[in-house]
Amino acid sequence: MNLPGVKVLHDEAAIAARVGELGTRITRDYQGKELVVVGVLKGSFMFFADLVRAIDLPISIDFLGVASYGGNTKSSGVVQLTSDLSHPITGKHVLLVEDIVDTGLTMRYLLDNLATRHPASLAVCSLLEKPARMRVPIEIVYLGFSIPDEFVVGYGLDHAQKYRNLGFLGILEGAV
């Protein structure tokens, strides 16, 4: 798909290569452990689907829904859990999978929330991070790409719910 106003940042091949590398590292790091891979909806859905196929372990999967309120292209840090996990994570190794860590406020909220359930471990895998906008430090153990301060769409990420079905990551020109 070629769209006016969307400039390719990372194409399908670059994404697939990076996701494969992350899957290999995760497979090695969680050998012999009971791993639950948790996707944060909706933005992570495409990354999540590719990532879990690159993990060669008997994992289980679960999802969280969050809504963060604010303007269209800026998140406010006011986060609401719109859908919770379907199973307890107490004593399990949890890998939280996000599309993007921007200010870090959403991830901070999710990590604090999940930590109260006493998982055996809790780590973050994010497809993207925007270091220029970071407000709270988040340790992203498994990172896809660091990106400039631009609004990114595609490969699950949206602008007003559109563009999620693009197979590549693109910059929405004129959005920031």
What are the residues binding ligand XMP (CB under 6 A)?
43, 68, 75, 77, 98-107, 151-153, 157-158
Q: What is the radius of gyration, based on Cα positions, of the chain?
A: 16
Residue (55 or 152) nearer to ligand XMP, CB: 152
154 binds Mg ion (CB under 5 A): no
C-alpha span between 94 and 68 (Å, rounded): 22
The region that residue 42 occupies, defined by phi over 0 for left and psi between -120 and 50 for alpha, beta otherwise, is alpha
Return the residue matching tokens 């944060």.
40
Count of positions on this chain that bind Mg ion (CB under 5 A):
1
Least gap, CB of 35 to Mg ion (angstroms): 22
Q: How far is the CB of 99 from ligand XMP (least distance, A)?
A: 6
Q: Rank residues 27 and 68 by Cβ distance to ligand XMP and give the closer one.
A: 68
Three-class SS state of 153: strand
Helix count and strand count (H, E) for the chain = 3, 9
Contact (Cβ atoms closer than 8 angstroms) between residue 116 and residue 60 = no
* Part of the chain binding Mg ion (CB under 5 A), chosen from 17-25, 40-48, 133-141, 144-152: 40-48
Choosing from 43, 104, 144, 170, the residue that interacts with Mg ion (CB under 5 A) is 43
The option from ligand XMP, Mg ion, none interacting with 20 (CB < 5 to 8 A, set by class) reads none
Q: What torsion do the CA atoms of 118, 21, 58, 67 make, to the nearest 10 degrees?
A: 50
CA 159/CA 7 separation, integer angstroms:
14
Beta bridge partners of residue 125, listed in sequence order: 97, 142
| Active site (annotated) includes residue 149 | no
Query: Among 84, 102, 112, 149, which one carries the catalytic annotation?
Result: 102
| Distance of closest approach, residue 48 Cβ to ligand XMP, in angstroms | 13
In whole angstroms, the minimum distance from the beta carbon of 56 to Mg ion comes to 27
30 or 109: CB nearest ligand XMP: 109
Quick check: helix, strand or coil at residue 160? coil
User: What residues are annotated to the active site?
Assistant: 102
Applying CB under 5 A, the residues found at the interface with Mg ion are: 43
